[in-house]
Amino acid sequence: MCRRLANDSRVDDIAPDLSWDLPLRLLGGLHYLVLAGEASWDDLGAALDDHAAFLTRWCSEQDVQTNEVQRSWALLPGFLTVADERPLDLLELGPSAGLNLLWDRYRYRYSSGEWGAGELELSGDDRMPFPGELLERRVDVVRRRGIDLNPVDVTTEHGARVLQAFVWADQTDRLERLRRAIDVARRDPPQLMQGDYVDALPSLLRNRREGAQLVVFQTASTMYLDRRDAERLRSALHHAGREEPLVYLTTGRAPDDDGFALELERYPDGRTERLEVFDFHGAWLDWGR
């Protein structure tokens, strides 16, 4: 399909700015139309002709938005690792629609046991399982905040369709999982804020819930920061940690680019512990790797 589009001269008219993510944006726009019943994958030529104005606007204005809820399956062991008797105050950096801020509302299955009782069940291949006693821990989340340059409001039909549009149309299991997660979010959505989280982080970290453990986390977001902003982020964590300790769960590229490495950083001292490596979309995990 990408080859067909690349060879279609109409694409140049719709999106003359050939940036690296143009194919993703254009396919997302087409999928958005298909989901609305306004276009068909069987006749891309007609879609390009009939919806040229919409696709031109979409490609210039709509950034690529994904919110892979399956990553919660890989993140849960990290959250359980930092859980203690205090409730958790969650802050996600770059949350998109915030579906992973709702991780405690899902049900999980691992080779070593199960956790949670939500309607959406997440499972995967824990090739190197984490300690089963972690599954005995229970958590209480008192607040869920997320800050994103362009957060997606899935309580609206447009927002929900945008997220679905950036999933490949033939990945039916992934689409169904996303739709069920959207249903969960609509019942009690997290607090999503629009802004640059590097700029806003000092203020957000000062806003604490008394008696709660502040847990800051991110997946596949900070890799897009330049060195200066990455240093500003960690400086904010160090400073806030001196006022009251906090923890930071963060992902980076794993060795050999084989998935994400999940690391736990404790502030104010910045002590770092690698917990696991997991698939980019959360299909598998290797604990302790």
List the domain range (segments joined by +) for residue 175: 71-287
Q: What does the pLDDT read at residue 7?
A: 54
Low-confidence stretches of the chain (pLDDT beneath 70): 1-19
The label of the residue with tokens 């003359």 reads: 16
Q: Which of 237, 249, 236, 243 is nearest to 210 (CA)?
A: 243
Do both 217 and 142 map to the same domain?
yes
Do both 47 and 146 map to the same domain?
no
Do both 83 and 160 map to the same domain?
yes
Q: What does the pLDDT read at residue 9?
A: 55
- Does 145 reside within a domain? yes
Return the H-helix or E-strand segment holding 116.
Answer: none
Do both 95 and 155 map to the same domain?
yes
Q: What does the pLDDT read at residue 194?
A: 98
Q: What does the pLDDT read at residue 20?
A: 75
Structurally, the chain folds into a number of domains equal to: 2
Q: What does the pLDDT read at residue 80?
A: 98
- Does 66 reside within a domain? no
Residue 284: phi and psi, rounded to 5, are -145, 160
Q: What does the pLDDT read at residue 17?
A: 60
Q: What does the pLDDT read at residue 15?
A: 58
Residue 194: phi and psi, rounded to 5, are -95, 130
Using an 8 Å Cβ cutoff, are 123 and 108 in contact?
yes
- Does 247 reside within a domain? yes
CA within 13 Å, CB half, 150: 9
For 13-37, the pLDDT digits (tens) are 665 565 678 999 999 999 999 999 9
Q: What does the pLDDT read at residue 257?
A: 83
